[in-house]
């Protein structure tokens, strides 16, 4: 007799698969957390080696993604975020080795206090557990996130975008192979292979399996994760980054900083979006700054005062009137909003209104203005006389980063090893009981 079986709907099957992956990550987390730092670091050293040994296969997988996205009409900024090259892979491997060499954050004891009853009380640093990372078309995030998680004793469930699916599959295979080679459970790194947004929703509702979700990408992705999740979320917000050029600024320094902040890599979250200049000295400062940016192909979206000043200076190609939506907009391209403000107070007011809490900079020769800017700007990273493009875990000495948090609870700014751990209270007694 033939017994007919009812086939599960595809959506139910996919949801079960996501749950199964989370369960596998949960099961792998305990042995990973128990393993010592030498074993976890050895796994990361294997990752760096495999990134080099398997470079050709990794680049081939990435080329498949780039070709598909280019054929689909992706813009230059999106393609740049997606692209892997030999130098980028080499830099990625170097970051992995840097993470491997960092001090182990686990087991660190906070100051122990002796209570009046003789008990010792303190805090011990421990892993968060299983972390879900939801991110867009940057395949380097696959490696950055997973290596930080492994180093800190966390299992990770990765869900990248469809644009990088071939790259993410190839990179995840490297990560799992390295874990296995180090005698650690490969299931500590999982990739959700489905590109359906439904699967993200399933992942975000796996309370008891996922300890925290971290979205990394644009405002739409972050909003979706925050709205859908029933697990805790650490938001890594969009980067609307301002640079304010004070009336006292050295013109040459200002040009170098502004140019680097906008042009070096315009497609990343710490790139300059809005240039603010003190109206009192704009005639001296704006034309050379604008000229350097225009020569690099930057399109300037100017307020009325800046537009008039540049037109008087003969700078018109690449200059256009700003629209209301240009203020507070993350361009991720060779575009920048330009506005004149009434001194430091005007700049602080503008940033308070339009900033996203990511990275803000002032170029100034006045110490009092620098200190006011540091004290009053509400952002994760605040710069004096430096480019905002330094807001990065690697640049801050963290080795790599999970993301850049614009929240104020638990983690803020580039999130490295310490930010993906928590603590538990440890109490050492010798028979104490609480009085009735």
Residue 199 shares a structural domain with residue 81? yes
Measured CA to CA, the distance from residue 376 to residue 249 in angstroms comes to 19
Please give the residue range of the domain that contains residue 374.
241-390
How far is C-alpha 48 from the geometric centre of its chain's CA atoms?
Answer: 21
- Please check whether residue 310 lies inside any domain of the structure: yes
Residue 26 shares a structural domain with residue 151? yes
Residue 137 shares a structural domain with residue 33? yes
**Domain tally for the chain?**
2
pLDDT at site 398:
81
Is residue 242 within 8 Å of 263, Cβ to Cβ? no
Residue 126 shares a structural domain with residue 230? yes
pLDDT at site 14:
56
Residue 75 shares a structural domain with residue 104? yes
- Please check whether residue 41 lies inside any domain of the structure: yes
Residue with structure tokens 């949801």? 15
Residue 158, strand partner residues = 133, 191
CATH of residue 161's domain is: 3.40.605.10
Residue 321 shares a structural domain with residue 221? no
pLDDT at site 236:
81
Measured CA to CA, the distance from residue 11 to residue 196 in angstroms comes to 10
CATH of residue 328's domain is: 3.40.309.10
Residue 159 shares a structural domain with residue 67? yes
Residue 196 shares a structural domain with residue 310? no
- Please check whether residue 8 lies inside any domain of the structure: no
Long-range contact set of residues 40-43: C-beta below 8 Å, sequence gap at least 24:
40/104, 40/150, 40/151, 40/153, 40/182, 40/184, 41/100, 41/101, 41/151, 42/100, 42/182, 43/150, 43/178, 43/179, 43/181, 43/182, 43/184
Residue 166 shares a structural domain with residue 178? yes
pLDDT at site 303:
97
pLDDT at site 298:
98
Measured CA to CA, the distance from residue 24 to residue 4 in angstroms comes to 30
Measured CA to CA, the distance from residue 299 to residue 263 in angstroms comes to 11
Residue 312 shares a structural domain with residue 207? no
Residue 45 shares a structural domain with residue 182? yes
- Please check whether residue 152 lies inside any domain of the structure: yes
- Please check whether residue 375 lies inside any domain of the structure: yes
Q: Which residues of the chain have pLDDT under 70?
A: 1-16, 237
Helix, strand, coil % over all residues of the chain, rounded to 5: 45, 20, 35
């Amino acid at each position: 007799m033939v017994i007919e079986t009812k086939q599960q709907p595809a959506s139910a099957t996919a949801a079960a698969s996501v749950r199964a992956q989370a369960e596998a990550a949960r099961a792998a987390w305990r042995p990973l957390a128990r393993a010592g730092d030498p074993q976890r670091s050895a796994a990361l050293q294997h990752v760096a080696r495999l990134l080099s040994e398997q470079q050709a296969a990794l680049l081939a997988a990435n080329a498949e993604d780039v070709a598909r996205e280019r054929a689909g009409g992706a813009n230059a900024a999106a393609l740049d975020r997606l692209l892997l090259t030999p130098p980028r892979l080499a830099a990625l491997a170097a970051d992995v080795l840097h993470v491997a060499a960092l001090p182990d954050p686990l087991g660190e004891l906070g100051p122990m206090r002796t209570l009046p009853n003789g008990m010792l009380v303190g805090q011990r640093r421990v892993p968060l557990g299983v972390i879900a990372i939801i991110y867009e078309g940057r395949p380097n995030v696959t490696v950055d996130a997973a290596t930080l998680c492994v180093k800190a004793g966390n299992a990770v469930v990765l869900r990248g975008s469809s644009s990088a699916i071939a790259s993410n599959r190839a990179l995840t295979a490297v990560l799992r192979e390295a874990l296995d080679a180090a005698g650690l459970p490969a299931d500590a790194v999982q990739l959700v292979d489905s590109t359906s947004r439904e699967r993200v929703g399933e992942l975000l509702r796996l309370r008891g399996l996922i300890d925290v979700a971290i979205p990394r990408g644009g405002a739409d992705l972050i909003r979706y994760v925050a709205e859908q999740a029933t697990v805790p979320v650490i938001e890594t917000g969009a980067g609307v980054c301002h640079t304010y050029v004070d009336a006292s600024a050295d013109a040459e320094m200002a040009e170098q900083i502004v140019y680097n902040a906008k042009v070096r890599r315009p497609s990343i979250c710490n790139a300059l979006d809005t240039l603010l200049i003190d109206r009192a000295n704009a005639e001296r400062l704006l034309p050379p700054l604008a000229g350097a940016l225009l020569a690099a192909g930057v399109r300037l979206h100017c307020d009325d005062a800046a537009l008039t000043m540049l037109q008087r200076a003969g700078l018109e190609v690449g200059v256009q009137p700003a629209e209301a939506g240009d203020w507070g907009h993350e361009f991720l391209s060779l575009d920048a909003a330009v506005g004149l403000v009434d001194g430091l107070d005007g700049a602080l007011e503008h940033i308070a209104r339009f900033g996203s809490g990511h990275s803000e900079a002032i170029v100034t020769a006045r110490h009092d203005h620098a200190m006011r800017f540091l004290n009053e700007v509400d952002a994760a990273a605040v710069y004096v006389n430096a480019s905002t493009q330094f807001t990065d875990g690697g640049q801050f000495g963290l080795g790599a980063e999970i993301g850049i948090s614009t929240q104020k609870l638990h983690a803020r700014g580039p999130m490295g090893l310490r930010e993906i751990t928590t603590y538990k209270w440890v109490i050492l007694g010798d028979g104490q009981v609480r009085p009735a």
